[in-house]
Amino acid sequence: MQKVGICLNKRKTEDFGGIQAVDDLSLELDEGKLTALIGPNGSGKTTLFNVITGITQATRGRILFRDQDISNMRPHSITSLGIAMAPEGRQVFPAFSVKENLEVGAYALKDRAVKKQALDQVLDEFPRLQEPIQQLAGTLSGGEQQMLTIGRAMMSNPSILMLDEPSLGLAPRIVETIFKILARFKEMGRTILLVEQNARAALTLASRGYILETGSIELEGRAEDLLHNDELKVKYLGG
């Protein structure tokens, strides 16, 4: 199995009252698999995503993606390498249409035919976005906005799709729909790094999991093994 490696070695990303958000950790993703990143609020999960995508700059250390140092790259350059993120909180552009939001995700694609193909593929994956394609994104339901956020990240056909809390704040019925979409992505062989508050659902889908606490990886392993870990059952899996 080919590996996609993201290593953050002895790095210090941000200080919050003297506390390092992320420090001295490494992730190894199985290409074509879903990897889950689990941890409590404030453990550094979103900060880690922001560092990988270049939104947050490191004060020291390196980020390695497929042996290439991307530590000082701008976000658009990192996206062009094949790393895309769907951020927490359904951050759509509310005054843009659904189509315009999706096209933002394809800004690095120069060929119109390629852009059209990417748009068609995303709408095939998210048929609920087809009818309101010209509707303002701010008028969509929460579930539709989450689908739009994921679809926008997919527009560049990334090598790694990073999803930050895709089920956060959604009704149970919509959460079920989102996880069915993720299961389909898994079957398609997409490489996904998933941060998710629903630890059991995330680990059930994942092939591998990492537990992040206070900015460091405390535990890692096969997702199946983590699901049966007694300590994790108490802390994250409801006993």
Most confident residue range from 1-15, 45-59, 191-205: 191-205
Q: What is the pLDDT of residue 17?
A: 35
Q: What is the rounded CA–CA span in Å between residue 167 and residue 169?
A: 6
Average pLDDT over residues 127-136: 95
Q: What is the rounded CA–CA span in Å between residue 53 and residue 62?
A: 13
Identify the CATH homologous superfamily for domain 3-92+158-235: P-loop containing nucleotide triphosphate hydrolases (3.40.50.300)
Q: What is the pLDDT of residue 25?
A: 67
* Chain segment 88-126, per-residue pLDDT in tens: 888 899 999 999 999 999 887 888 899 999 999 999 999
User: How confident is the prediction for the chain on average, in pLDDT?
Assistant: 84
Task: Report whether pLDDT(167) > 80.
Answer: yes
Task: Report whether pLDDT(222) > 90.
Answer: yes
Which segment of 20-24, 28-32, 186-190 scores lowest on mean pLDDT?
20-24
Q: Considering the entire predicted model, what is its pTM? A: 0.86
Q: What is the pLDDT of residue 50?
A: 86
Query: Above pLDDT 70, what percent of the chain?
Result: 87
Strand extents, DSSP E, the chain? 3-12, 15-16, 19-20, 25-30, 34-38, 60-65, 68-69, 83-86, 160-164, 192-195, 208-213, 216-222
Task: Report whether pLDDT(214) > 80.
Answer: no
Q: What is the rounded CA–CA span in Å between residue 146 and residue 94?
A: 13
Task: Report whether pLDDT(147) > 90.
Answer: yes
Task: Report whether pLDDT(20) > 50.
Answer: no
What radius of gyration do the chain's Cα atoms show?
A: 17
Residue 193 near residue 163, CB atoms below 8 Å: yes
Question: What band does 151 get if pLDDT is binned at 50, 70 and 90?
Answer: very high
* Chain segment 188-212, per-residue pLDDT in tens: 999 999 998 889 999 999 999 999 8
Q: What is the pLDDT of residue 213?
A: 81
Residue 85 near residue 164, CB atoms below 8 Å: yes
Q: What is the pLDDT of residue 5?
A: 56
